[in-house]
Amino acid sequence: MLVIPAIDLIGGSCVRLYKGDYSKSTVYNNDPVETARMFEAAGAERIHIVDLDAARGDGNNRPVIKKIRESVSCVVETGGGIRTTDDVKELVDCGINRMIAGTVLAKEPDLVAGWIAAFGRYFIAGIDALDGEVKVSGWEKGSGLSDTELAKTCAEIGIISIVYTNIAKDGTLSGPDLKNTVRIAQESGLPVILSGGISCDEDFRSVTLDAADSGIAGIITGKAIYEGRINLEKVISLYQKGGQEAEW
């Protein structure tokens, strides 16, 4: 189990959205590079970066992501706006360890399968769902796919793991959606990283103890760190099991 702190980027700043709503964003830090360094100093072995501008097709934060990659030694995974082979090449060239395919995976799974064949085991699925339907394009559009359908496709094409987000929980500090995250792990047979709703130390305890052997491999946390509801160093020391070289 890895504790994975999150950096969501809009206009080069660290932000958090409320239920994926771009009109309800809060800026927490204007220096995401320093934020990443603090996360690593606290013991983070992996950092989760989402380029929210790129996710909805409104520019990108690739220069910032590159600076983060150059500033930390831990594993860096990033998603948002990865839709072309050139996007993949750019991120591979700057040393990103894992790429999260979301919109493109839902719309063009064969393209992602081709990337896996060409580039190797870099790719994580980003399954972001509301009421069981996968949302795309920065969560602003429906896909017509169920989260279960897409989870099964992931296993078939060689995706190495899944980040599962219940959009209704994201940024709400209302507790994680453990039930549906476990369901996605069971349906896909892949390691699943839980995202959305983490609010306190007890949430980590419930995932690590109540969901033991469930297929949940990691927990992403963002807003709870920025608002001081959890101490990242403490929860890593208490709940993290694993290592940098995790294959997923």
| Cα–Cα dist 79/183, whole Å | 23
Coil, strand, or helix at residue 39? helix
Predicted confidence (pLDDT) at residue 211 exceeds the cutoff of 80: no
Q: How far is residue 44 CA from its own chain's centroid?
A: 14
Count CA within 13 A, CB hemisphere, residue 121. 9
| Cα–Cα dist 120/100, whole Å | 13
In which band, very low, low, confident or very high, does the pLDDT at 212 lie, cut at 50, 70 and 90? Answer: low
Q: Which entry of 51, 86, 87, 128 is annotated as an active-site residue?
A: 128
| Cα–Cα dist 201/181, whole Å | 19
Residue 193: what are its φ and ψ, rounded to 5°? -100, 120
Residues 6 or more apart whose Cβ sits within 8 Å of residue 186 = 214, 215
pLDDT at residue 29 in the model: 79
| Cα–Cα dist 99/126, whole Å | 9
| Cα–Cα dist 64/84, whole Å | 19
Predicted confidence (pLDDT) at residue 78 exceeds the cutoff of 90: yes
User: Which of the pair, 25 or 243, is modelled with greater confidence?
Assistant: 25
Asked if 87 is an active-site residue, the reply is no
| Cα–Cα dist 147/205, whole Å | 25
Predicted confidence (pLDDT) at residue 155 exceeds the cutoff of 80: yes
Q: Tell the burial category of 6 from Cβ atoms under 10 Å away from its Cβ (0-12, 13-18, 19+).
A: buried
Per the structure block, which two tokens stand in for 160? 């190495």
Assess if CATH 3.20.20.70 describes domain 2-239. yes
pTM attached to this predicted model: 0.94
- Condensed to tens digits (0 to 9), the pLDDT of residues 180-203 reads 999 999 999 999 999 999 999 999
Asked if 8 is an active-site residue, the reply is yes
Domain residue spans in the chain? 2-239
Q: Sign of dihedral through CA atoms 193, 211, 202, 217?
A: negative
Q: Output the CA angle 110-55-67, nearest 5 degrees.
A: 105
pLDDT at residue 244 in the model: 52
- Condensed to tens digits (0 to 9), the pLDDT of residues 130-146 reads 999 999 988 788 899 99
Predicted confidence (pLDDT) at residue 210 exceeds the cutoff of 70: no
Residues 6 or more apart whose Cβ sits within 8 Å of residue 110 = 157
